[in-house]
Amino acid sequence: MSQTSQTLMEMYQAALTRFGHLKWWPGETRIEICVGAILTQNTNWTNVEKALANLKAAGKLNLPALAAMDMNDLAEMIRPAGYFNVKAKRLRNFIRHVMEHHGGDLDAFLAMATSTLREELLSINGIGRETADSIMLYAGGKCTFVVDTYTFRILLRHRLIDTDYDYEMIKELLESNLPSDAELFNDFHAQFVSIGKSYCKPVARCEGCPLEHLPHDPNRGRDEF
């Protein structure tokens, strides 16, 4: 086992001890996970929850209903999630893609081979790498690691990566140094977010962080990405 693999597993174990299994994604249906993945772009999850609650209360959290919605109504309903005009378009693009290319069968869409599915998701305007991987991992159960701001910051602070690492490089680092296990990828990403929210802010305050014992520099990750 490489040093990187060992450090990563040590990180995971430390986080797991602190937070327990996190049972992500918070969402009852596949469509809810997909919608949540788009709404949470650069946005606090509590704001996303309000938007999801609006859609749910209106009975719109399903593919046919979303497909039939007026853009302005959709934007108004997701307003609490921020960037609501942009995100309404992105949701529409995603929904349209599933309707037009897969006959509205989200399960069949997500059942596609991993590489093809990722390619298709990335071809949709508004679906970038993180959103694509979130949808694939959490809605599709695919074995793909989700890299986000917290992942970057934590790995940077613990010197497993440098500032010139881009999304794909970080994803490759994680996937090649961890057992290929969708359940592990699922929970590990959730652990990264929990660590990040609680201990790994841009202005470094690592006190009490479960990863504190691992060699790191608390001052890295500020103004570096």
Partner DNA sequence: GACCAGGCACATC
Partner DNA sequence: GATGTGCATGGT
By the criterion CB under 7 A, which residues form the site for DNA?
24-26, 36-37, 40-47, 50, 79-80, 82-87, 124-132, 134, 138, 148-150, 193, 196-197, 201-203
Q: Where are the beta strands (DSSP E) in the chain?
A: none
Q: How far is the CB of 177 from DNA (least distance, A)?
A: 22
What type of residue is 157?
R
**Closer to DNA by Cβ: residue 64 or 101:** 101
Identity of the residue, 131 or 144, whose beta carbon is nearer to DNA in the bound complex: 131
CB of 132 to DNA, least distance (A): 6
Return the CA Rg of the chain: 18
Q: How far is the CB of 134 from DNA (least distance, A)?
A: 5
Least distance to DNA from the beta carbon of 105, Å?
Answer: 23
Please tell me whether residue 181 adopts helix, strand or coil conformation. Answer: coil
Per-residue DSSP letters for 5-40? Answer: HHHHHHHHHHHHHHH--------SSHHHHHHHHHHT
Q: How far is the CB of 180 from DNA (least distance, A)?
A: 21
2 vs 116, which CB is nearer to DNA?
116
Residues 77 and 93: their CA atoms lie apart, in Å, by 17
DSSP letter for 104, please. Answer: T
Nearest to DNA of 60, 153 (CB atom): 153
Whose Cβ is closer to DNA: residue 6's or residue 205's?
Answer: 205
* Side-chain-facing half-sphere of 225: CA atoms under 13 Å: 22
Residue 59: which region, alpha, beta or left (left: phi > 0; alpha: psi -120 to 50)?
left
